[in-house]
Amino acid sequence: MIGVFDSGIGGLTVVKQILKELPEYRLMYLGDTARMPYGNRSQDLIYRFTRQAVEYLFQAGCKLVIIACNTASAEALRKIQQEWLPKNYPDHRVLGVIRPIAQEVGKLPGLSRVGIIATSSTVKSGAYDRELKQINPEIKVFSQAAPLLVPLIEEGWQNRPETAKILRGYLRGLKNRKIQTLILGCTHYPILSKRIKNICGKKIIVLDTPKIVALSLKDYLSRHPEIETKLAKDDCHRFLVTDLTSQFKTNAENWLGQKINLEKIDLN
Ligand code: DGL
């Protein structure tokens, strides 16, 4: 089974693309809705929460876990991969979203000015800057924390004029810096991608981050038969959350584009 982890249900934007690109694999989604948002928490806490969630998914039978959450990928992935995994689950794998997105930027020709919007923790971590500079040291990275967007999207305010105004404010500085491409560095932001594209105009490429992550997973599985052959292949997907409200259910079904059964679990 493939596990997909996010701090909340925004990661369903990634699941939607995985189901499209890799329909044969069984998925288990885990959204830590009881403890979200992660985006303004300390690195230590984000690491502890993420490790706990990954362990839960391993115990439930996942051989491979995708950390769809940018904040958790930025603040916890490296430590999990380098310290915790080799000691505790050496035959399991954990992948994040920042490297594949940065690699995609590296493939775009003539691109030197990259903008990122993300949570405060992701921006502060410098994880995107590091990955992008490693791929191409010439790239100039401009980051903007956009902490108000997650609560607005969670509230279902994506089409409200207030949201458009806040979004324009966040993007103004990046547009002034003449960015050529924009990374939506948070699982929720693709829900605003139409609006973001309108504000950015035709000259800025707004990356389809969930699609990049899904295609990179496809590529990974084709190169790692030792993992691929261990994955269950059917459509008995499960969607787990650590807190369940009617708003979570409504958002989850809207963002995934299908009816689902959300199951409440306890990570402690
Ligand atoms: N899922 C998080 C991310 O992709 C955003 C929500 C949060 O702050 O927990 O960064």
Given phi > 0 = left and psi -120 to 50 = alpha, else beta, which region is 201?
Answer: left
User: Is residue 173 within 8 Å of residue 144, measured between CB atoms?
Assistant: yes
8 pocket-lining for ligand 1 (C-beta < 6 Å): yes
Segment 12-69, tens digit of pLDDT: 999 999 999 999 999 999 999 999 999 999 999 999 999 999 999 999 999 999 999 9
Mutate to test the pocket of ligand 1, among 4, 12, 38, 121 (most ligand atoms within 8 A of CB): 38
Instruction: Answer yes or no: is the C-beta of 30 below 6 A from any ligand 1 atom.
Output: no
Judge if the beta carbon of residue 38 lies within 6 A of ligand 1.
Answer: yes
Q: pLDDT (tens digit, 9 = 90+) per residue, 184-240? A: 999 999 999 999 999 999 999 999 999 999 999 999 999 999 999 999 999 999 999
CB atoms within 10 A of CB 225: 9
The C-alpha atoms of residue 146 and residue 195 are separated, in whole angstroms, by: 15
Assess whether the C-beta atom of 190 lies below 6 angstroms from ligand 1.
Answer: no
| The token pair that represents 91 in the structure block | 């035959």
Q: How far is the CA of 226 from the centre of ligand 1 (A)?
A: 31
Catalytic residues: 69, 186
pLDDT per position as a tens digit, 141-190: 999 999 999 999 988 899 999 999 999 999 999 999 999 999 999 999 99
CB 29 within 8 A of CB 53: no
Take atom 6 of ligand 1 and give the residue whose Cα is closest.
Answer: 37
Query: Which atom of ligand 1 is the closest one to the Cα of 36?
Result: 9
**Alpha-carbon distance 91 to 94, whole Å?**
10
Which phi-psi region, left, alpha or beta, contains residue 52 (left: φ > 0; alpha: ψ -120 to 50)?
A: alpha
pTM confidence score: 0.96
- How far, in Å, CA of 72 to CA of 96, rounded? 8
